[in-house]
Amino acid sequence: MATNTPITNLSTKAQEGIVQFYRSCASITSASWNIRDQMLSIDKLYMRELDRTMQDAKAKLANASGDPTKYQNIIVPLVLSSVEAAVTYQTSVFLTGVPLFGVSSTAANADAALQMESIIDEQSIRGGWARELQLLFRDGFKYNFGAVEVDWTRKKIFSPETALEFSPDQAKPVETYWEGNTLKRLDPYNIIFDARYKPTELSARGEFVGYTELISHVELRQYMYELSYKMNSKQAYESGPASVGSSFPYDFYIPQLNPTALLDQKTFASVDWLAWAGLAERKTNISFKNTYFRTTFYARIVPADFGIASPAAHVPQIWKFVIINNQVLIYAERQTNAHNLIPILFIQPHEDGLGYQTKSLARNAEPFQSVASALVNSAIQARRRAISDRGLYDPTKVDAKQINNESASAKIPVKPAAYGKPLSEAYYPIPYRDEQSAQAMQDLQVMFRMNEQVTGQNQAQQGQFVKGNKTLFEYQDVMQNAAGRSQAISILLETQFFTPLKELLKLNVLQYQQTAEVFNREIEQVIPIDPVTLRQATLAFKVSDGLVPASKQMNSEAFQSAVQTIAAVPQLAGAYNLGPMFSYLFKSQRADVAQFEKTQEELQYEQAMAQWQQAVQMLSEALASNPNMTPEQIQQSLPPQPTPEQFGVGQEQPKVPKASILQQAAQNLK
């Protein structure tokens, strides 16, 4: 938004064409695939909210009213545990490192790599990348589908500055702007995309990708204020109606999953806050609405087809449009990013070449959860049968409502027809024998094992205790083999998502980063950022993550072994400059010790001092063998002592007077 030049001369016809193009794309998405229904079904499995039977509803109502004796139906959480175990594993691989994405390079570009790493680390903290990526993992394992927008954002912030005229005790907030990479996980329920291509190919090949958000009128006004250029402001503010679930074929959608949610967001979104706050009666030039739909729409278009006057208008280009309430275009810009991709990346953790036909982890666990739940509920039904036995009764002698009285201690009156007759003739209990509950619990374990085989997870990976007498090494071997399928998914995610993500992050920094100072929390130093230095080192950067750490990219173990060998063999040490080698090794491990390297002048001065001290030692040995040398001869034989000033060394070294040398020589003679 701040990096590309917005187009300000769109004709009304071009704007209408773009809006119609977006609406057609949204309609195609809704018509080609019932994606929302499928995700709704998966979320109900994940949240265990599929049971809507009257029996379960009555039990829940009884429990809520204080009756603890009623048994609710139980949904065994196999889908939840499988998804969360997979999310936890990938989180531990990709999102636990500090920094989140390390940067390594050649020795010549070590300083530029440190700058790049400091920039990416600062942006990841400010943008909360770990949260967005963890949400993305969860989408991927639930739906086998998830998306993240990678955008270079410019937003207003306030920096505290000391200004005595403002206040002697408080800092003055000064308005400024922050620019950097941001990651935004997109709500899968409100994404439109070109379904002709596989999810992982959309950014490079897809014709369109977009997403819709629900915002308030205040947020819309703030967004319009921060835009470098906008059009149709008044029309956007007055557009409507913006109501959840309107007639537009792919309108903003809020799934209704949890009947006990803290609030109904759909109802919440329909509240007229302006009327509630008494602002509707105020007369203004603009009739604001309560809520708005903001759609960010990326598309590969030929500008000439829409009558847009743009350079190379007959060549396909990537454009970004922002549309309010599916009808008013407020922003348009051509994307001139160096990566030339739609900046929305998709993941598909289970990819087998079948595209959207591939089942997600949640779908694979679905049948086992259903069967396991049926087994558990059969045992619960047996418990219901045990505490409310069945029997045969004579309605002429006992009333039906007395037989079905839920009170465990209620007395049962008999009718006059039963007087004088044995009461055993009025009621006969049917004997109850539960022979299946134990077998059902055994079958339940079989369902657990089958689910583990399908999902590739064992009990330990899901945080459960496993009995056994395995040794530590046997357990480690088992866990290493069990993690093989999760590691395969990590390698796939690295290739299909994290590699292009890191490339987008790197190219955005190289293209848009400005001169600044960034604090590096690893070495606890302020790093000055030089964009020119960064761009000159473009081809040398290797952005790492938890799966491909910098130690693997640099082969630091072999590097350390080489340094030890060089230090042990003097002939090799003479062929290498060991000081910079050690500094490079430490810098690759996020420790910058270059500030402690000696300068070339200091090294020359120390070398001259060593030669002078060697000459003094030789003179002392000469005096020992020829004590008849006069002081004048000794003074002539002694070379001048090097001084720091001769070599430009800043720190003064104590100068050794010649008299002390003569005294030392005399002492040696004695």
Mean pLDDT of the chain: 80
Mean pLDDT to the nearest integer, 191-208: 93
Distance CA 225, CA 54 (A): 52
Least confident of 79-83, 356-360, 436-440: 436-440
pLDDT at residue number 668 = 47
pLDDT at residue number 152 = 92
Residue type, 199: P
Structure tokens at 477: 């071997």
The total of other beta-carbon atoms located within 10 Å of residue 187's CB is: 18
Least confident of 69-78, 177-186, 557-566: 557-566
Say if residue 45's pLDDT is above 90: yes
pLDDT at residue number 183 = 96
The total of other beta-carbon atoms located within 10 Å of residue 177's CB is: 10
pLDDT tens digits along 100-140: 888 877 777 888 888 898 999 999 998 899 999 999 999 99
Structure tokens at 583: 């500094």
pLDDT at residue number 13 = 92
- Alpha carbons within 13 angstroms on the beta-carbon side of residue 224 total 21
Say if residue 595's pLDDT is above 60: no
Going by pLDDT thresholds of 50, 70 and 90, the confidence category of residue 205 is very high
pLDDT at residue number 525 = 83
pLDDT tens digits along 181-193: 999 999 999 999 9
Going by pLDDT thresholds of 50, 70 and 90, the confidence category of residue 427 is confident
DSSP string of 34-101?
-HHHHHHHHHHHHHT-----HHHHHHHHHHHTT-TTSPPP----HHHHHHHHHHHHHHHHHSSSSSSS
Of all residues in the chain, the percent with pLDDT exceeding 70 is 76
pLDDT at residue number 566 = 66
Mean pLDDT to the nearest integer, 443-459: 80
pLDDT tens digits along 454-492: 887 766 666 555 656 566 555 566 566 667 788 889 989
Going by pLDDT thresholds of 50, 70 and 90, the confidence category of residue 656 is very low
pLDDT tens digits along 331-346: 999 998 888 899 999 9
More confident residue, 78 or 569: 78
pLDDT at residue number 558 = 60
Least confident of 381-395, 440-454, 484-498: 381-395
* Residue 397 · residue 418 · CB < 8 Å: yes
More confident residue, 538 or 498: 498
More confident residue, 596 or 11: 11
More confident residue, 303 or 230: 303
Q: Is the peptide bond before 199 cis (omega within 30 degrees of 0)?
A: no
pLDDT at residue number 119 = 92
Mean pLDDT to the nearest integer, 421-438: 79
Range ranked top by mean pLDDT from 242-246, 275-279, 292-296, 633-637: 292-296
Distance CA 137, CA 141 (A): 6
pLDDT at residue number 9 = 77
H or E element that contains 276: helix 273-276
Residue type, 419: Y
More confident residue, 310 or 297: 297
Going by pLDDT thresholds of 50, 70 and 90, the confidence category of residue 2 is very low
More confident residue, 431 or 495: 495
The total of other beta-carbon atoms located within 10 Å of residue 449's CB is: 11
Which phi-psi region, left, alpha or beta, contains residue 66 (left: φ > 0; alpha: ψ -120 to 50)?
left
Distance CA 359, CA 423 (A): 62
Distance CA 301, CA 332 (A): 12
Structure tokens at 555: 């082969």
Nearest-CA neighbor of 397 among 366, 374, 378, 422? 422
pLDDT at residue number 210 = 95
Site of tokens 């940067």: 103
Mean pLDDT to the nearest integer, 179-206: 93
DSSP string of 501-551?
HHHHHHHHHHHH--SEEEEETTTTEEEEE-HHHHHHTGGG-EE--SSS-HH
Say if residue 298's pLDDT is above 70: yes
H or E element that contains 148: strand 146-161
Say if residue 1's pLDDT is above 70: no
Max Cα-Cα span within the chain = 152
pLDDT at residue number 657 = 47
Going by pLDDT thresholds of 50, 70 and 90, the confidence category of residue 387 is low
pLDDT tens digits along 158-172: 777 777 666 777 787
Say if residue 584's pLDDT is above 80: no
Say if residue 350's pLDDT is above 50: yes
Going by pLDDT thresholds of 50, 70 and 90, the confidence category of residue 597 is low
pLDDT tens digits along 526-547: 889 998 888 888 655 566 666 6
Structure tokens at 36: 């929302």
Range ranked top by mean pLDDT from 92-96, 598-602, 645-649: 92-96
pLDDT at residue number 273 = 57
Distance CA 527, CA 113 (A): 11
pLDDT tens digits along 610-634: 887 877 777 777 777 766 666 666 6
Mean pLDDT to the nearest integer, 40-45: 94
pLDDT at residue number 21 = 94
Of all residues in the chain, the percent with pLDDT exceeding 90 is 26
